[in-house]
Structure 1
């Protein structure tokens, strides 16, 4: 009597030599990220590193010369000097731009590796999610401090804000797209809305800035 269809085991999917080595080590590599994720990580990390490094240079020049006026101090509202000299600018005991240089520098290295075709274990992507989530929370705390405590804006800081959110959305998009678990359809569809979510976030923050400093903006009209 021939075996029933339910008794026949499904054929195993072919596994490459690299994947077999990864699984033998207990570190199965995640799927390659999409081109959009790689581009988002590369651009956000590059611009974030440039902005953070520039801020660090401005901070060093300010320490060397107390009378130094930062290049991004343009008016009473757009004033990097006010932000850099605040307590919030060194909340961990050292200048915040040092965190940005280290974090975005690491992301630049990761983005370059991805461009070269590297594949990272899934736990590595979860580590990236932890790092970008910390950055996301820290950035939003800094946004509230800039708007409602320091009462000044730093253009380079705002570049860092956008880059941090972009990197976070890129990492989340990759983890959702490559998740082995069965996720609800609306969750699976989130990566396709990542750019829209980012734009909405930028518009929301821009609205908060416009409302907070409207007393000054209207004097320029």
Structure 2
């Protein structure tokens, strides 16, 4: 079963298919490639900064912007190594898979539906992790990590886009594809991830209002 024909012919005839950008392989492929490359580079930059911090605990990192936004301060917290190794190594490895699928989509390869669902599961886990780290960073440690925010900004939209693709393509089953609420939410995927990121930005501004108030 491919992403392009996850539903049967009868299902396709009976279900109004939204002409969303997430159903166009080239557009979705480019989106996955851009998101993966930016996320990978941010994770790689974090890894480089982490090793610099290990070599010299007093080093001032390129992402140490001020007391409110500092990668170095976040790296000193125990949560920066949730699985016994630096979290950024997860990003370096995790962004490879969506990057590969993005390239295959642009090349016109037929991606099985179960592979896209697997990508969805991986992005769901990644989104859960970045939301947890967002909470820890902003509300527990009390410092924002600039490179981490770049990773959040890439992971969440990719998760929403791939979820919308699977819902509209029928990879979650014909029942989801027929559901009018699911179709509307899937078609409004851009609005959803923009709203999601705006809520995160608002939380950061409120939490660090003492800093942002000095900018006005």
TM-score, structure 2 length as denominator?
A: 0.85
* Contact 2:28-2:102 within 8 A present in 1 as well: no
Quote the offset at 1:217 in angstroms: 2.0
| Equivalence for 1:92 | 83
Q: Distance in 1 between matches of 2:59 and 2:104?
A: 39
Point out the structure with the larger helix share.
2
| Equivalence for 2:4 | 31
Q: Distance in 2 between matches of 1:36 and 1:204?
A: 26
Any unmatched runs of 5+ in structure 1?
1-27
Q: Distance in 1 between matches of 2:192 and 2:161?
A: 11
TM-score, structure 1 length as denominator?
A: 0.83
Q: Please say if 1:79 is aligned against 2:52.
A: no
* Contact 1:38-1:111 within 8 A present in 2 as well: yes
For residue 112 of structure 1, the aligned residue among 103, 107, 113 is 103
- Give 4+ residue runs of structure 1 displaced > 3 Å after superposition: none
| Equivalence for 1:200 | 195
Structure 1 stretch displaced more, 200-209 or 35-44: 35-44
| Equivalence for 1:132 | 123
The SS at the match of 2:69 is coil
The SS at the match of 1:31 is helix
* Contact 2:4-2:169 within 8 A present in 1 as well: yes
Q: Distance in 1 between matches of 2:181 and 2:215?
A: 44
Quote the offset at 1:173 in angstroms: 1.4
* Contact 1:41-1:170 within 8 A present in 2 as well: no
The SS at the match of 1:60 is helix
What is the number of equivalent residue pairs in this alignment? 194
Any unmatched runs of 5+ in structure 2?
6-22
Quote the offset at 1:186 in angstroms: 2.1
Q: Distance in 1 between matches of 2:81 and 2:136?
A: 13
Quote the offset at 1:135 in angstroms: 0.6
Q: CA RMSD in A?
A: 1.5
| Equivalence for 1:186 | 181
